Amino acid sequence: MLQTPTRFTLVAASSEGATTLNAFDGALLNAGCGNMNLIRVSSILPPGAEETAALAISPGSLLPTAYGQIASTTPGERIAAAVGIGFGAPGSFGLIMETAFSGSGQEAETRIRKMLEDGFLLRGLTLTRVLVKSAEHVVVSCGCAFAAVCLWG
């Protein structure tokens, strides 16, 4: 079993590539997590986890990550991915939401904020603070937008 993460980093980037997988790989590299082994997780930030601006882990490390990503081969299409973390009472867990779709980064961030409000309402908790990060990309031939909360430490 993996240890409970003590740090988190929000990342977001986009890329073009020869294939959708290459575009995704490029977006991961541009976001700073391309040389890690991402383990996709659901959406709870552990209590007490501290925000860190950049990842400081070795290449090849297992990296629990909540992320949204979208790839497209439609030239001219605007795609976006966003993640957000909602915080409530001090010492409580945080709630992570992610989205990806055809549209703008601003639209993605608006969606994330609404999703966090709804998630806190479902839990009967009070939302006190929100962190959001997004990436937007206009496809040239094959592009990807990616946003993530990386959980580590």
Ordered structural domains, the chain, with CATH? 7-152 (3.50.20.10)
Confirm whether 16 is a catalytic residue.
no
What are the beta bridge partners of residue 143?
16, 72
pLDDT given for residue 51 in this prediction: 97
What is the per-residue pLDDT across 126-146, written as a single tens digit (0 to 9) for each?
999 999 999 999 999 999 999
Positive or negative, the CA dihedral 18, 104, 95, 53 is positive
Active site residue 22: no
Mean pLDDT of the chain, nearest integer: 97
> Rounded to an integer, what distance in angstroms lies between the CA atom of residue 64 and that of residue 8?
10
pLDDT in tens, 86-113: 999 999 999 999 999 999 999 999 999 9
Q: Count other Cβ atoms within 10 Å, centred on residue 141.
A: 12
Q: Which of 14, 15, 43, 134 is catalytic?
A: 43
Tallying the residues shown for the chain, one arrives at 153
Of 72, 98, 109, 136, the catalytic one is: 98
For residue 2, what pLDDT band results from cuts at 50, 70 and 90? confident
Q: Which residue's structure tokens are 């957000």?
A: 84
- 37 is a catalytic site residue: yes
Cβ(58)–Cβ(16) below 8 Å: no
* Annotation says 109 is catalytic: no
Please indicate, yes or no, whether the overall pTM of this predicted structure exceeds 0.85. Answer: yes
Instruction: Express each pLDDT in 46-93 by its tens digit.
Output: 999 999 999 999 999 999 999 999 999 999 999 999 999 999 999 999
